[in-house]
Structure 1
Amino acid sequence: MMRLLLAEDDPLIARDVTAQLTKAGFNVVHESDGEATLFAGEHDDFAAVVLDLGLPKIDGLTILKKWRSNGRDMPVIILTARGNWEERVEGINAGADDYLGKPFRIAELLARLHAVLRRYSGHASAILSSGPVSIDPRRRAVMVDGMPVDVTPMEYKCLLVLMQNRGRAISQLELTEQLYTQDFERESNSVEVLIGRLRKKIGRDTIVTRRGFGYQIASGEGT
């Protein structure tokens, strides 16, 4: 049975969500404030986290940033106020895997949970390498010639997709679909901006543009 952390301070929502997730086969651990949530995520292992951004004591966005900076890589779905796109943008940029606006239906939460769990299970735990660039999915770490490189959560996601598809070009549309949820508000050139920032950090020749096909990690020895 998969263990899931539910961080929600509304007792009625927490009760109903816990009951439905338990019925769906999850072992739910519920925390109602930010301090307890931060501690649980740092010191215990969970298959996924459902994280309300409006927690007392420590807000959910701060918690998520601390988890990611400390290498905690479990899938996280954030809960936000319906229509608050600024929170959604901040959450995704901080390393959230998906988001859901309140109020929500349990069926949609379950669908999103299963989707992020499928994506996560498809990530190899072994270090991926191509030429001088290596990426460690378990630690969400990027290295060039063995030296750590500081990347944002979205830059990491973009590089991970490219590394997992070494040997073929990924179109801009495919990258967009893998990096962003369908209703996530973004600039039309978001992918180009990410690629440009990555090239500055890991080397301009590391990511090749194949005109008419998309972006591809340059060939190099690696696993």
Structure 2
Amino acid sequence: MFNTRNTQFLDYFYEGEHLCIYPWGHGLRVHDSFFDGMHNWALTEKSDFDSNFRVIYNADEATIVNGKTKAIVNKNGKITFYDKNKIILEEFWRERNFRKIKINNSQFLNQKENEYSSALKIKARDFSPNNKGSYEVAVRFEANDNERIYGMGQYQQSQLNLKGCKLELAQRNSQATVPFLISNYGYGLLWNNPGIGEVTFANNIT
């Protein structure tokens, strides 16, 4: 459900999940949580850039545009990012998404919501409770063809292009993790979470 009264950022609720997409400088900040309230524990500084953005709500989707960057959220919560009208990053969803379309008084048609309808029940943003009163989160994206990915800090390896690599997100004496990547598709992504984790840039999923 979209909170259409909120035009300061894109505001979306679904089954206890609260997704917000804010304008941030020339880009966008995605904040997703099951906790009450939107806290900035991992991001305290405010951008001093006055963004020229707009938020548009429709029946089946919502859009936020900030400069050349655009994000569209469909009614199931899937986010797709665009540079102008070109897809640069798309969330990875594999769920059964059908809705009944009434043809007449006695006939209904099952219409597929998206091209990735599947029985795998994989969500792009997956929250799993842990034994510490919090949860672990996984984020999944569609893998782009011929993509080259750079950044992520300093690791003891020879690969400059990180496509195909799996990296630990943790600080060690032998590595310095900086969870920021740059893609030849024209976007950068900061994983703004201090927790220990891992990232995989596979050919079939990110």
TM-score (norm 2): 0.29
Higher relative contact order (CA 8 A, sep 6+): 1
Q: Which has the higher strand share?
A: 2
Q: Which has the higher helix share?
A: 1
TM-score (norm 1): 0.27
